């Protein structure tokens, strides 16, 4: 069982603009052929508040007043220090603070499958701070943003990541790295 950060990024290392805009990414119509393969290995999902709010706001923008149904079959944990609106479906838990007990709970409920930390970058960094990040899969989009929400705001140089694979689809390059301890 691995803890994996699977995300898309601009070439200059941002996963969203400062205002949590993802239109720079969504404008590319190319489907990610690796997603189905990836999600099939995932048994639990974690994310930070702004990622959750993006999903909620995206639902509202695209589906109007339709009930907010959770999009992941896997049990999901949202890190937030404030109360947030719940979806009407899905196994969703709001948590705060130390990632270690949450990671243990995720591992217990993932049925031996991998744990996906969607982001943001600092939440992934909190997992790495405790030696709890195993793999980073980044799909690079052919744009730069200049500023925004950082991919992984930590200095991780020693040991460096180990390159596992490089794939291309449409305008994207997907790079998989193993985190070495
Ligand atoms: N490009 C992609 O594929 C991709 C993938 C994932 C996400 N995204 C986007 O990237 C952006 C990420 O936003 P972000 O960098 O601000 O990160 P985020 O992790 O989504 O949200 C950060 C917030 O989460 C809460 N949080 C984080 N760790 C916590 C902890 N241990 N305990 C309690 N609360 C905690 C804090 O909110 P409070 O303390 O205020 O409650 C913090 O300000 C979003 O726009 C998202 O949609 C893009």
The position carrying tokens 């591992």 is 107
Task: Confirm or reject: Cβ of 118 under 6 Å from ligand 1.
Answer: yes
Contact by Cβ (8 Å): 103, 3: yes
Ligand 1 atom at minimum distance from 15 CA: 1
Quote the CA–CA distance of 117 and 102 in Å, as a whole number. Answer: 12
Query: Ligand 1 atom 17: the closest Cα is on which residue?
Result: 120
The pLDDT value given to residue 164: 98
The reply to whether ligand 1 has any atom less than 6 angstroms from the CB of 120 is yes
**Sign of torsion over alpha carbons 109, 112, 118, 123:** positive
Between the CA of 52 and the centroid of ligand 1 the distance, in Å, is 8
| Cα–ligand 1 centroid distance for 5 (angstroms) | 13
Helix (H) or strand (E) holding 133: none
Site to probe by mutation for ligand 1, drawn from 11, 16, 27, 48 as the one with most ligand atoms within 8 Å of Cβ, is 48
Tokens of 31: 């489907």
* Predicted local confidence at residue 30, as pLDDT: 67
Q: Is the CB of 29 under 6 A from ligand 1?
A: no
Task: Output the pLDDT for position 106.
Answer: 98
* Mean pLDDT per 10-residue segment, the chain (181 residues): 98 98 90 90 98 97 95 98 96 98 98 98 98 98 98 98 96 97 87
The predicted pLDDT at position 75 comes to 98
Give the phi and the psi of residue 149 in degrees, each rounded to 5.
-85, 120
Residue 113: its pLDDT value, please?
A: 98
Which residues is 44 bridged to in the sheet? 115
């Amino acid at each position: 069982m691995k803890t994996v950060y699977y995300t898309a990024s601009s070439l200059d290392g941002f996963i969203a603009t400062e205002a949590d805009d993802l239109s720079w990414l969504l404008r590319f119509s190319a489907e990610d052929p690796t997603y189905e393969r990836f999600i099939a290995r995932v048994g639990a999902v974690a994310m930070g508040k702004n990622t959750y709010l993006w999903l909620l706001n995206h639902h509202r923008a695209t589906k109007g007043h339709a009930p907010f149904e959770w999009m992941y079959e896997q049990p999901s944990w949202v890190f937030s220090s404030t109360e947030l609106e719940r979806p009407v479906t899905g196994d969703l838990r709001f948590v705060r603070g130390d990632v270690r007990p949450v990671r243990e709970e995720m591992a217990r409920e993932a049925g031996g499958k991998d744990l996906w930390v969607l982001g943001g970058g600092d939440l992934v960094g909190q997992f790495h701070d405790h030696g709890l990040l195993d793999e980073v899969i980044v799909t690079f989009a052919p744009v730069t943003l200049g500023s925004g929400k950082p991919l992984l705001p930590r200095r991780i140089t020693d040991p460096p990541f180990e390159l596992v694979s490089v794939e291309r689809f449409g305008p994207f390059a997907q790079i998989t790295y193993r985190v070495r301890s």
